[in-house]
């Protein structure tokens, strides 16, 4: 399972649990919260009515007095209220009064006058000077509906409790408000949960992307490909830069160790030749000494091997400079036709010395490519030099520039002996070279490796294959 999916699933589980718990708490608190508010209102109402009913109760006319008439008239009143979108046309209050024994002496509904309510908590507790309230099933209606009763004491002039006035209100009257509040809480809970999940998706994608960038960079480095540190953010950016620094230092150390080992191995042969020639020049040969022809031959051998060493070091430095680049620093528009002509001019003397002839076949009106003109020119010079080494005396070397799909391809072909099958897969290896046809000394084995590195820097590729009719053909292609 990918790490981004793991992060998202973990985040989703946490958000889902938190949202479920919060929703249950909020929804569970809505109903008691609304009922508590209604009970507070009933307390105030009961105490106000108890004060208004006191005179009629003490005078013994609580069931026929003005208080009773006004309360009974309440049921016929059209309230005409609109409470937060809910229409209210009539009052749902029920008011009843009990005497000191708990016997009902007034009932606004007219049904329980004379009944003994002394066992009900609202009456029982109030007559004893305590707060009395209860919630009981509605005996006249649905047994699942409950009615809240709150009582207040009726006192005489001496402050003694002589009766109780209770106000009752069905809990169903507030059911629409409870349902709407629960619905609002549930809807916003889903909205918040959805928003949290979207944030989780975004964060998981971002984390997965940052880790993916670092993973692809590490894989590219492991594969030996050119790679730059990913453009990551925050701590991921710091980690990428740290990895880049570590890679550079490790590669630099390994690069130096490898080159020192390879260079010392390649230098043994020319140094041995130089040492042998020098020893022969120093040793006396009879009384007349060494013949002039031999002395000249050994001196020429020393000069040739010294030039070979100098050329090897120069090419090695050039190759090292290219291999350490991760990308072109300042690519510019380059016309490959002009680069090919410059390379041909640079190699003119070399071609005259070898007796080879260079034929140019450059497709006209090709657009410029983005690249480094110096590196491309040096790569073409290496290809022409390599072709000249293997071309027979008086042979022709063909340099061709043409478009190949979305790329431009330069091909340099000769009519030499071609490349043996066993060497085709190794010609671009560092320090790998083949013997020259006329018995000349091997090259440094760095020219084609330099060409391959330049092609890679430009996003292209280099190839070498045998030509039909004999000879070899090297190619360098770049986007453009």
35-52: buried (b, 16+ CB within 10 Å) or exposed (e) per residue? beebbeebbebbbebbee
Each residue's pLDDT tens digit, 310-322: 656 665 565 555 5
Q: Is the pLDDT of residue 103 over 60?
A: yes
Question: What was the pLDDT predicted at 469?
Answer: 83
CB atoms within 10 A of CB 56: 20
Instruction: Please state, in angstroms and rounded to a whole number, the distance separating the CA atoms of residues 395 and 381.
Output: 18
Q: At a CB cut-off of 8 Å and minimum separation 6, what does 280 contact?
A: 290, 294, 298
Q: By CB neighbour count within 10 A (0-12 exposed, 13-18 middle, 19+ buried), where does 125 fall? A: middle
Report the pLDDT averaged over residues 444-473: 85
Q: Is the pTM of this model over 0.75?
A: no
Instruction: Please state, in angstroms and rounded to a whole number, the distance separating the CA atoms of residues 418 and 66.
Output: 128
Helix axes 292-323, 234-282, angle to 10 degrees: 180
- Long-range contacts, stretch 85-88, CB < 8 angstroms, 24+ apart: 86/176, 86/177
Range scoring the smallest mean pLDDT among 114-123, 208-217, 243-252, 430-439:
243-252
Each residue's pLDDT tens digit, 189-228: 778 778 877 877 777 777 777 777 777 777 776 666 656 6
Each residue's pLDDT tens digit, 138-176: 765 555 578 899 999 999 999 999 999 999 998 877 777
User: pLDDT category, 10, cuts 50, 70, 90?
Assistant: confident
Q: Is the pLDDT of residue 280 over 80?
A: no
- In percent, how much of the chain has pLDDT > 90? 27
Q: Which of 194, 316, 301 lies closest to 255 in space, CA to CA?
A: 316
Question: What was the pLDDT predicted at 478?
Answer: 92
Phi and psi torsions of 151, nearest 5°: -115, 155
Q: How far is CA 392 from CA 164, 352, 360, 396, 432, in A?
A: 130, 13, 18, 8, 21
Report the pLDDT averaged over residues 27-31: 68
DSSP conformational letter for 310: H
Task: Tell which CATH architecture fits domain 332-479.
Answer: 2-Layer Sandwich (3.30)
**Which residues lie across from 361 on neighbouring strands?**
400
How much is the mean pLDDT over the chain? 79
Question: What was the pLDDT predicted at 126?
Answer: 95
Domain extent listing, the chain: 14-179, 254-323, 332-479
Question: What was the pLDDT predicted at 59?
Answer: 92
Q: Which of 419, 321, 306 lies closest to 378 in space, CA to CA?
A: 321
First to last CA, the chain: 41
User: pLDDT category, 286, cuts 50, 70, 90?
Assistant: very low
Q: Which residue has the tokens 């066993």?
A: 422
Instruction: Please state, in angstroms and rounded to a whole number, the distance separating the CA atoms of residues 404 and 281.
Output: 56
How many CA within 13 A on the CB side of residue 31? 8
Task: Tell which CATH architecture fits domain 254-323.
Answer: Orthogonal Bundle (1.10)
The correct answer on CATH 3.30.450.20 for the domain covering 14-179 is: yes
Instruction: Please state, in angstroms and rounded to a whole number, the distance separating the CA atoms of residues 61 and 105.
Output: 9
Q: Is the pLDDT of residue 257 over 60?
A: no
Report the pLDDT averaged over residues 341-358: 85
Question: What was the pLDDT predicted at 255?
Answer: 47
């Amino acid at each position: 399972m990918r790490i981004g999916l793991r992060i998202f699933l973990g985040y989703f589980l946490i958000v889902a649990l938190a949202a479920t718990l919060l929703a249950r708490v909020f929804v569970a608190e809505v109903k008691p919260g609304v009922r508590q508010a209604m009970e507070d209102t009933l307390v105030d109402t009961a105490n106000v009515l108890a004060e208004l009913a006191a005179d009629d109760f003490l005078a013994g006319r609580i069931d026929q007095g003005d208080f009773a008439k006004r309360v009974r008239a309440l049921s016929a009143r059209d309230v005409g209220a609109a409470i937060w979108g809910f229409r209210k046309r009539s009052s749902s209050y029920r008011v009843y009064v009990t005497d000191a024994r708990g016997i009902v002496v007034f009932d606004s509904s007219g049904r329980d006058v004379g009944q003994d309510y002394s066992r009900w908590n609202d009456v029982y507790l109030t007559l004893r000077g305590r707060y009395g309230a209860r919630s009981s099933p509605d005996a006249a209606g649905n047994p699942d509906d409950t009615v809240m009763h709150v009582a207040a004491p009726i006192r005489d002039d001496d402050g003694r409790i002589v009766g109780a006035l209770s106000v009752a209100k069905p809990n169903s009257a507030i059911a629409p408000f409870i349902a709407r509040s629960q619905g609002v809480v549930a809807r916003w809970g889903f909205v918040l949960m959805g928003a949290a999940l979207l944030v989780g998706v975004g964060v998981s994608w971002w984390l997965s992307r940052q880790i993916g960038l670092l993973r692809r960079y590490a894989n590219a480095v492991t594969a030996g490909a050119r790679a730059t540190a990913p453009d990551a953010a925050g701590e991921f950016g710091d980690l990428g830069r740290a990895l880049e620094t570590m890679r550079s230092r490790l590669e630099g150390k390994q690069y130096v160790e490898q080159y020192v080992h390879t260079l010392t191995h390649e230098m043994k042969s020319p140094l041995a030749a130089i040492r042998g020639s020098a020893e022969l020049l120093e040793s006396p040969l009879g009384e007349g000494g060494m013949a002039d022809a031999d002395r000249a031959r050994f001196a020429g051998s020393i000069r040739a091997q010294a030039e070979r060493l100098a050329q090897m070091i120069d090419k090695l430095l050039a190759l090292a400079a290219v291999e350490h680049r991760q990308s072109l620093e300042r690519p510019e528009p380059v016309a490959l036709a002009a680069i090919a002509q410059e390379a041909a001019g640079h190699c003119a003397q070399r071609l005259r010395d070898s007796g080879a002839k260079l034929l140019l076949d450059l497709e006209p009106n090709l657009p410029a490519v983005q690249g480094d003109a110096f590196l491309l020119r040096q790569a073409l010079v290496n290809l022409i030099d390599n072709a000249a080494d293997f071309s027979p005396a008086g042979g022709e070397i063909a340099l061709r520039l043409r478009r190949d799909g979305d790329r431009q391809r330069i091909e340099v072909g000769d009519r030499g002996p071609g490349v043996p099958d066993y060497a085709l897969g190794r010609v671009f290896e560092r320090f790998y070279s083949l013997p020259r046809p006329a018995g000349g000394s091997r090259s440094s084995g760095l020219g084609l490796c330099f060409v391959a590195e330049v092609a890679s820097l430009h996003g292209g590729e280099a190839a070498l294959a045998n030509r039909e009719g004999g000879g070899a053909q090297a190619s360098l292609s770049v986007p453009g």
